[in-house]
């Protein structure tokens, strides 16, 4: 059965698009047929992060409005067999998204794909609302910083009340998990940055992964490559671990996958994992 | 927790961040719509008070104080009628 996963955060600039691209690529690498959809109408960026910006002909809005077939708008990734991108419109605004239109597109995609990753815009308005509305699961991207954590808490409230599953009223809920991004182990150990445990204690949702602050993220975006394809990068490895957990595998939580372990910190994390 | 037991003098900024968030979110989660109800409450109280005595529009003052483990709602009603007779 296919799954719709929304990547959301409330606050902007925390890494939603980077994470959407990395997770979608990771799922495809694992053999799952995956599509990633850009819901940020008017501020299209997923296409750049995925490196397919010059191949956009039709978009999500064209499909919703019946101006193009879904197959015409889907862009097949050149690196990964199972990966597709559905870009959004750069010229329209979020009012072009309709509940019925989004539902129709998602229903059609569900027939063909294992995973449908919805890259939410920042904020809590129409675009963000519709990105999460039909989700089965949510990846809440959060930086260890007060405004990001506060906004994530707000978004969790919306996931629990303003989604199709929540509105069904039969006890169904969107399964939300935390993806802590831009985490700096040293600064956290020095008390300059909240720890993984601190954020988990506040938001009280399961931890999907910890993505360390890493120079490879900017490099990947410069090149239009999902960072999870960079096997040497600590961030890329951390995303692949998170993807493994997303599909239900038990993978030990590591702050910097592939780096030397630090006793003190690992003990802290051992408890939360 | 760790920062506390080792360096008791001054909590780290991360500790401060965590505590601020815990206090703030405890409030934001319970009062979903925030303190938006205060103007409505003020209007309703004024309406009730007016049924019994003649007070003017700004005679009712409402304050909401929020602290760590206690929130208080303070309602002050100025009663000009009583002052005159006294």
Give the residue from B11, B21, B31, B33 with the most A CB atoms within 10 Å of its CB, the best one to mutate: B21
Half-sphere exposure of A194 (CA within 13 A, CB side): 27
Nearest to B13 among A192, A202, A268 (CB): A192
Residues 213-272 of A with CB under 8 A from B: 268
pLDDT at residue number B73: 80
User: Mind listing the pLDDT tens digit for each residue in A3-52?
Assistant: 999 999 999 999 999 999 999 999 999 999 999 999 999 999 999 999 99
How far is A13 from A9, CA to CA, in rounded Å?
9
Task: Please indicate if any CB of chain B lies within 8 Å of the CB of A184.
Answer: no
E strand spans, chain A: 3-8, 34-38, 75-76, 83-86, 115-119, 137-142, 175-183, 207-212
Asked whether the beta carbons of B75 and B60 are under 8 A apart, the reply is: yes
What per-residue confidence (pLDDT) applies to B9? Answer: 63
What ipTM does the predicted assembly reach?
A: 0.80
Q: What would the mean pLDDT of B52-72 be, rounded to a whole number?
A: 76
User: How much helix, strand and coil, in percent to the nearest 5, is found in chain A?
Assistant: 45, 15, 40
d(CA A175, CA B57): 49
pLDDT at A266: 57
The residue-averaged pLDDT of B7-21 equals 85
Q: Which residues of A touch B12 (CB under 8 A)?
A: 190-192
CA atoms of A215 and A238, how far apart (whole Å): 14
Q: How many CB atoms lie within 10 A of CB A199?
A: 29
Q: What percent of chain A has pLDDT over 70?
A: 94
Return the bridge partners of B63, or none.
B74
pLDDT digit string, tens, across residues A192-243 = 999 999 999 999 999 999 999 999 999 999 999 999 999 899 999 999 999 9
Average pLDDT on B37-44 reads: 77
Residue A271 has a pLDDT of 52
CB A128 within 8 A of CB A122: yes
Judging contacts by C-beta atoms under 8 Å, the chain A residues touching residue B10 are: none
Record: contact A201-B18, CB cut-off 8 A: yes
Of A145, A154, A191, the CB nearest to B15: A191
Asked if B13 lies within 8 A of A190 by C-beta distance, the reply is no
C-alpha to C-alpha distance for A139 and A151, rounded to whole angstroms: 14
Using the predicted structure, report yes or no on whether residue A61 has a pLDDT greater than 50.
yes
Q: State the best of B6, B9, B13, B14 to mutate against chain A, taking most chain A CBs within 10 Å.
A: B14
Q: Find all residues with CB under 8 Å of A107, minimum gap 6, and list them.
A: none
Whole-model pTM: value is 0.80
């Amino acid at each position: 059965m296919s799954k719709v996963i929304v990547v959301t955060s409330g606050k902007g600039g925390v890494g939603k698009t980077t994470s959407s691209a990395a997770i979608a690529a990771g799922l495809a690498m694992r053999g799952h047929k995956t599509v990633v959809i850009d819901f940020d109408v008017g501020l299209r960026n997923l296409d750049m992060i995925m490196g397919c910006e010059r191949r956009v002909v039709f978009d999500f809005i064209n499909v919703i409005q019946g101006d193009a077939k879904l197959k015409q708008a889907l862009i097949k990734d050149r690196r990964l067999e199972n990966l597709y991108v559905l870009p959004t419109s750069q010229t329209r605004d979020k009012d072009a998204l309709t509940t019925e239109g989004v539902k129709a597109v998602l229903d059609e995609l569900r027939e063909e794909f294992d995973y449908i990753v919805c890259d939410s815009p920042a904020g809590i308005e129409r675009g963000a609302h519709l990105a999460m509305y039909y989700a089965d699961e949510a990846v809440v991207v959060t930086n260890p910083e007060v405004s990001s954590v506060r906004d994530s808490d707000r978004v969790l409230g919306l996931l629990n009340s303003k989604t199709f599953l929540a509105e069904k009223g039969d006890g169904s809920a969107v399964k939300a998990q935390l993806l802590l991004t831009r985490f700096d182990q040293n600064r956290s150990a020095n008390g300059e940055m909240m720890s993984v445990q601190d954020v988990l204690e506040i938001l009280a949702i399961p931890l999907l992964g910890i993505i360390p602050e890493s120079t490879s993220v900017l490099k990947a975006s410069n090149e239009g490559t999902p960072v999870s394809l960079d096997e040497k990068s600590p961030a890329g490895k951390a995303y692949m671990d998170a993807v493994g957990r997303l599909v239900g595998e038990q993978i030990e939580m590591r702050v910097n996958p592939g780096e030397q372990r630090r006793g003190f910190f690992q003990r802290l994390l051992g408890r939360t994992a | 927790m760790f920062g506390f037991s080792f360096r008791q003098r001054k909590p780290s900024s991360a500790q401060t961040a965590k505590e601020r968030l815990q206090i703030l979110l405890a409030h934001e989660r319970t009062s979903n719509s925030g303190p938006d109800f205060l103007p409505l409450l003020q209007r309703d109280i004024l309406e009730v008070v007016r049924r019994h005595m003649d007070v003017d529009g700004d005679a009712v003052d409402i304050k909401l104080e929020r602290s760590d483990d206690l929130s208080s709602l303070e309602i002050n009603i100025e009663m000009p009628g009583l002052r005159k007779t006294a």
